[in-house]
């Protein structure tokens, strides 16, 4: 019976994949922290998609939720800069339905 290698062993041999996994872990942690600031219903309708080029990129499930999220951009940016050690100046919100 074939034995599969441990994930840690595989990642050592594939540094690009290891970097992607590490980025995904950071995004998940940042997403949890930032959405904790939001009202529960809004938090369930959006998620952090990326941090790049000095901006937080969120996905919202509708234009209405995107607008509500944009209204809280200052709080999200302050949290990211002051407590998550990110260096971001902007919040970008994209509308992406879950079925898209």
Cα–Cα distance for residue pair 70/7, rounded to 1 Å:
39
pLDDT in tens, 46-81: 999 999 999 999 999 999 999 999 999 999 999 999
Residues recorded for the chain? 100
Asked if the model's pLDDT at residue 42 lies above 90, the reply is yes
Torsion region of 56: left, alpha or beta (phi above 0 gives left; psi -120 to 50 gives alpha): beta
Which residue do the tokens 């930032």 mark? 34
- Domains identified in the chain and CATH numbers: 7-95 (3.30.300.180)
pLDDT at 8: 67
pTM: 0.80
For residues 76 and 37, the answer to whether their CB atoms sit within 8 Å is yes
């Amino acid at each position: 019976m074939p034995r599969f290698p441990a994930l840690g062993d595989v990642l050592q041999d594939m540094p690009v994949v290891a970097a992607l996994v590490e980025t995904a872990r950071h995004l998940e942690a940042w997403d949890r922290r930032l959405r904790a600031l939001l009202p529960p219903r809004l938090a369930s309708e959006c998620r952090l998609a990326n941090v790049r080029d000095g901006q937080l990129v969120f996905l919202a499930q509708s234009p209405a939720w995107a607008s509500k999220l944009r209204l809280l951009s200052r709080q999200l940016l302050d949290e990211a800069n002051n407590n998550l050690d990110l260096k971001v100046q902007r919040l970008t919100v994209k509308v992406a339905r879950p079925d898209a």
